[in-house]
Amino acid sequence: MLKVSVANLTLSEYLAEIRDYIQSISEYRWIVAEIAKVDCDKNGNYWIELIERNDDEIVAKCDAVVWSRNASTIANFFIKTGIQFNRGIKILFLGKAIFHEKYGFKISIYQIDPSFTVGEMALKKEETIRRLRAEGLIDKNKLIEIPAVIQRIAIISSESAAGYEDFLKILKGNKFGFKFHTKLFDAFVQGEYAVNSLIEAFQRCSSECKAFDVVVLIRGGGSVSDLAIFNEYELAKTMALMPIPVFTGIGHTRDETVADFVASISFKTPSEVAKFILDRALDFDSKIDALSQRIRHKVEKFLSVETSKSKTLEDRFKLALKNSRERLLQKMNLIVSEVHNNVLKRVHSERELIFKVKQQLYKKTNMIITAKHLEMTNINNKIKIKLSEKITKENFKVKSSTETLFTKLKNIFAMKKIQIERAGEKLQLLSPENILKRGYSITYLNGRVLKNSQQVPIGANVEIKLYRGMLTAEVTRKEEDNGELKLF
């Protein structure tokens, strides 16, 4: 049988007994819990929802309060850690149980230990890095070759992030005229939905990876707690498995996140990422210019050498032909002279045979001359054929090299011409005539252009230049403004 008091109690009386009992046994204890929700009222009191997780399951939940008189412990927490006092972080606090008849059970937090939270986050980060290293994911993205020129860039960021605007301003406003194609995969970069949003953005980018050279993760800085999302395992794993190089420019200077560890290259700020891409393009452009100069120099040198060789070969063939003719004529003259001497000797001894010998002499001489002439003609023809083939072959090489050079030079001149024309169009837009054409005017006083109302006295006559025509006006009133220029 239950022992029940016969006296009746009101609810407030019963809850007051519970309050007194809890106050009698409650004492300050150091407690570890995770913040699920926190709000600050107008009086400076912080109302907190605390939870305890076992893996992903919530095994305990309780409300807590930091009274305004103890609120300095939260300010001290931020000063010591740089972490916003917000949901998702684990804290070690000194507190005790309190109970109120109207507002129920709570834990009153008196003091928060900042070092515990910092250590807890660091430990979680190190565990994530060890897991990624064991799975071979830390250096996986670093093994993907970075293109020599990066022109097609996928950007994962929030459209409203300041870092995204800085990145585009540096990249697309470059003074070299380099053109870049960028596509934003919009995602949350802070808050409770940020991790899943970033993973989905990477997955969408991966499905279009053939259209991009690299993917850049951008954020414009933030507190340590804001950057904690970049230490999450699932996000780091998704980045490591990307089929193209991943650059990070998260905007922090004190520490590296896990996302930085798995990226192909990490940078401190989005601006540094943009400058790296520009420097890489400029370096490649310089190499192309240098290579073009080297090709031009080698072609000119080749043409000079080959032209000299061709001329030398032709001169050598002509000299050899001339020497062959002279040697042949000398030999023929010697033969004729010998025959002639023999004939003369035999004429003296055998006059009766002179006619027959004379006929034979002329016959043999004609045969020799004909044979030698034919031999000389064949040699001359072979020399001409060889020389013609050599000259044709060398001329083809020279012509081919010249056409290739002229094609490349023509392409370079065409690109430079386009750049000059674009610059001319920009200058034309800024000409005074076009400015007047858009509805602006120029005001003169005594032939000088007016820039400040302080230069004009009341009653003065001024001339106003319009796009078409001039106006003369008298100044009846003026306003002086030394602040910012406001046109409308």
Task: For residue 399, name the pLDDT band (cuts at 50, 70, 90).
Answer: confident
Task: Please determine, for residue 1, whether its predicted confidence score (pLDDT) is greater than 60.
Answer: no
Tell me which residue of 423, 424, 441 sits closest to 433, measured CA to CA: 441
Between 105-119, 238-252, 304-318, the lowest mean confidence (pLDDT) is in 304-318
Burial of residue 261 (number of CB atoms within 10 Å: 0-12, 13-18, 19+) = buried
Between 34-43, 87-96, 446-455, the lowest mean confidence (pLDDT) is in 446-455
Task: Please determine, for residue 71, whether its predicted confidence score (pLDDT) is greater than 60.
Answer: yes
Render pLDDT for 252-284 as a digit per residue (tens, 0 to 9): 656 688 999 899 999 988 999 999 999 998 898
- Torsions phi, psi of 252, nearest 5? -130, 155
Between 43-52, 161-170, 183-192, 356-365, the lowest mean confidence (pLDDT) is in 356-365
Task: For residue 340, name the pLDDT band (cuts at 50, 70, 90).
Answer: low
Which pLDDT belongs to residue 254? 61
Render pLDDT for 427-436 as a digit per residue (tens, 0 to 9): 777 777 777 8
Render pLDDT for 366-391 as a digit per residue (tens, 0 to 9): 888 888 888 888 888 888 888 888 88
Share of the chain above pLDDT 90, in %: 27
Region 354-365: mean pLDDT is 76
Paired tokens of 79: 């000063």
**CB-based contacts of 261, cutoff 8 Å, min separation 6:** 129, 132, 138, 236
Which pLDDT belongs to residue 483? 55
What is the distance in angstroms between the CA of the first residue and the CA of the last residue of the chain? 88
User: Do residues 277 and 267 make contact, with C-beta atoms less than 8 angstroms apart?
Assistant: no
Task: Please determine, for residue 141, whether its predicted confidence score (pLDDT) is greater than 90.
Answer: yes
The amino acid at residue 86 is N
Which pLDDT belongs to residue 297? 80
Domain 11-125: homologous superfamily in CATH: Nucleic acid-binding proteins (2.40.50.140)
Task: Please determine, for residue 486, whether its predicted confidence score (pLDDT) is greater than 80.
Answer: no
Render pLDDT for 21-54 as a digit per residue (tens, 0 to 9): 988 888 899 999 988 899 999 999 999 999 998 8
Task: Please determine, for residue 304, whether its predicted confidence score (pLDDT) is greater than 90.
Answer: no
Between 80-89, 197-206, 479-488, the lowest mean confidence (pLDDT) is in 479-488
Task: Please determine, for residue 287, whether its predicted confidence score (pLDDT) is greater than 80.
Answer: yes
Whole-model pTM: value is 0.48
Task: Please determine, for residue 347, whether its predicted confidence score (pLDDT) is greater than 60.
Answer: no
Looking at every residue in the chain, the average pLDDT score rounds to 84
The amino acid at residue 99 is F
214-218 vs 246-249, strand pairing mode: parallel
Tell me if the domain spanning 136-268 has CATH number 3.30.70. no
How far from chain centre, in Å, is Cα 34?
41
Share of the chain above pLDDT 70, in %: 90
User: Do residues 142 and 273 make contact, with C-beta atoms less than 8 angstroms apart?
Assistant: no
Which pLDDT belongs to residue 381? 84
pLDDT greater at residue 94 or residue 324: 94
Q: How many Å apart are CA 323 and CA 315, to the nearest integer?
A: 12
